[in-house]
Amino acid sequence: MSTQFDVAVIGAGAAGMMCAAVAGQRGQKVVLIDHASRLAEKIRISGGGRCNFTNIDAGPQNYLSENPHFCKSALSRYTARDFIDLVKRYRIPFHEKHKGQLFCDSSAEDIIAMLQAECEKGNVAWRMPCKVADIGKSGDGFRLETDAGEILAQRVVMASGGLSIPKIGATDFAFRIARKFDLKLVEPRPALVPLTFDSAAWQPFVPLAGIALEVAIETGEKKARGHFLEDLLFTHRGLSGPAVLQISSYWQSGMALTINLAPQADLTDTLLQAKASSKKNLANTLAQWLPARLAESWLQVQGMQGDARLADLPDKQLRQLGDSLNRWRIVPDGTEGYKKAEVTRGGIDTRELSQQSMMAAKVPGLYFIGEAVDVTGWLGGYNFQWAWSSGVAAGQAV
Ligand code: FDA
C-alpha cells in the first residue's frame, strides 16, 4: 500500500523543516522524511550548542557559489529580519555575539522546538527514522522507496544536506539523486575546515600549538579572493580558528595563504624605529605586537636570538623579519576533511535550478534546498540563513 502526499521533503534539518512548515501552512499535504533517529542534530550541535541561527548583516556578499547572483532572490525574500521575527514570536531569548552573529541565550533546542511547532501548525506528517532508498518518476509525480513503504508525492524537495560530519548522518543522497536525474554538480569539497601542512614543514611551528591571535588572512585570485580579519589558532597539525575556517572556503589545493600576524603594525618600521631609538632586544620589541611565545618561537624559526640587541642587527635582517611576520606565506597540503568541516562547498549546480523556487528546470516537481546546493556561507550564521531562505522559497513554490 502506498501513501500519497502533495509534497515529500527529504531531510528534516534546518532547510527541510522550514520548507515543510511553510508548504504545510499553505495547505499542502506534506511528509517530512529523515533517516536519523535524533532530529536536526546539526542544529543541536551548532554554535557550541547555542545555534548561531542567523547574521543580521547576511547578504549575497557573504556567500560563495559559481553563480554569486543565484542566492539573491531567496535571501531578499526571506531575510535575517524575517527569521528574527519568528524567533521573537516564540519568545526565544537571544543575543548578538560578534560581527552580527545571533545566538540563543539558552540552547539550540529552542530553535528545533520552534521549527517542530511550525511543522505541526502545517499538519506535516513525519517519517523518522526512515531511509529513502530511491526516488523515481511516477506519472507526473514521484515514487519514493522507503523503509516505511512506498510513498507517492507530486513534488519532492531534497533537503538532505551536504557531506560534512558523516558521523551524525550526512550522506551524498542529494548528489546521487541529482546525478540520477542528470543534473550537474559543482565538485563538492570540505569548507569551514581546519587546514593541515606537511608534517616535516610544520615541525618548527608545533611548539606554537594553542596560541591564538587576531590576524589578517587571504588567499585566492581576483573575484575568488577571500580576505578576513579574524582569530587564528595554531594547532599541532596546522592552523584553525575562525580566520582559517573562513579562508578554507576560498582555498584550493596548491594555493598559498598570506597571513599578517600583526595586522595593527608595520613591523619593519617598528623594528627600524626601535633600533634607532631604544636599547631593547628583539623578543621584547616583537612582544609589544605578538604573543611572547609566538615572538620567541618565530625568532628561533628564523635562526635569530631573542636577546639580540636591535642595535647590533643589520637593517636588512630586520626588514626580512618584519616582512616574514606581516606577510607570512604558507602553503597548506590539505584540510581536516568532512569529519571536521562545518559545511560542504559546491553541490547542485545552481544553473540547474530556478532562483525563485529552487526547482530543477529539467525535472519539474524536483527541488533542492539548503547545503546540498552550490551556495556556501561564511562562518557566522550565514549557512543557517541560507537554509531558512531557500527552504521558504521552495515551501512557497511547491
Ligand atoms: P542538515 O545537514 O541540517 O540536514 C540534512 C538532514 O538530512 C539531516 O537531518 C540528515 O539526517 C538528513 N539526511 C541525510 N541523508 C539522508 C537520507 N539519505 N535520507 C533521509 N534523510 C537524510 N551554520 C550556521 O549558520 N551557524 C552555526 O552556528 C553553525 N554551526 C555548525 C556547527 C557544526 C559542528 C556543523 C557541522 C555545522 C554548523 N553550521 C552552522 C552549518 C549548518 O549546520 C548547515 O549549513 C545547515 O545545517 C544545513 O542545513 P540543511 O538543512 O541543508 O542540512
Q: Where in the chain is the domain with CATH 3.50.50.60?
A: 3-190+337-397
Does residue 17's CB lie within 6 angstroms of at least one atom of ligand 1? no
Q: Can you tell me the mean pLDDT for 269-297?
A: 91
183-203 pLDDT, tens digit each: 999 999 999 999 999 999 899
Backbone dihedral angles phi then psi of residue 235, each to the nearest 5 degrees:
-125, 175
DSSP 208-220: GTT-EEEEEEEES
Give the residue, out of 383, 385, 386, 388, with the most ligand 1 atoms within 8 A of its beta carbon, to mutate for a pocket test. Answer: 383
Task: For cell 524536483, name the residue.
Answer: 366
Give the CATH architecture of domain 195-335: Beta Barrel (2.40)
Count the helix, strand and coil residues of the chain and give each as a percent rounded to the nearest 5.
35, 25, 35
% of residues, the chain, pLDDT over 90: 92
Residue 203: CA atoms inside 13 Å, Cβ hemisphere, count?
Answer: 3
Question: What's the whole-number average pLDDT of the chain?
Answer: 96
Residue 164 Cα to ligand 1 middle (Å): 8
Q: Can you tell me the mean pLDDT for 239-247?
A: 97
Q: Where in the chain is the domain with CATH 2.40.30.10?
A: 195-335
Residue 250 Cα to ligand 1 middle (Å): 21
Quickly state the pLDDT bin for 2 (edges 50, 70, 90).
Answer: confident
Distance, CA of 18 to CA of 24 (rounded, Å): 10
40-80 pLDDT, tens digit each: 999 999 999 999 999 999 999 999 999 999 999 999 999 99
Residue nearest to atom 2 of ligand 1 (CA): 161
3-190+337-397 belongs to which CATH class? alpha beta
Distance, CA of 300 to CA of 298 (rounded, Å): 5
Contact 250, 64 (CB under 8 A): yes
Query: Which atom belonging to ligand 1 lies closest to the Cα atom of 130?
Result: 20
Query: Which atom belonging to ligand 1 lies closest to the Cα atom of 164?
Result: 36
For CA atoms 127, 128, 129, 132, the dihedral sign is positive
Q: What is the strand order of the sheet 334-335 is part of?
A: 328-330, 257-260, 212-219, 226-234, 238-240, 195-196, 334-335
Q: Is pLDDT above 80 for 278?
A: no
Q: Is pLDDT above 70 for 1?
A: no
Quote the radius of gyration of the chain (alpha carbons, Å): 25
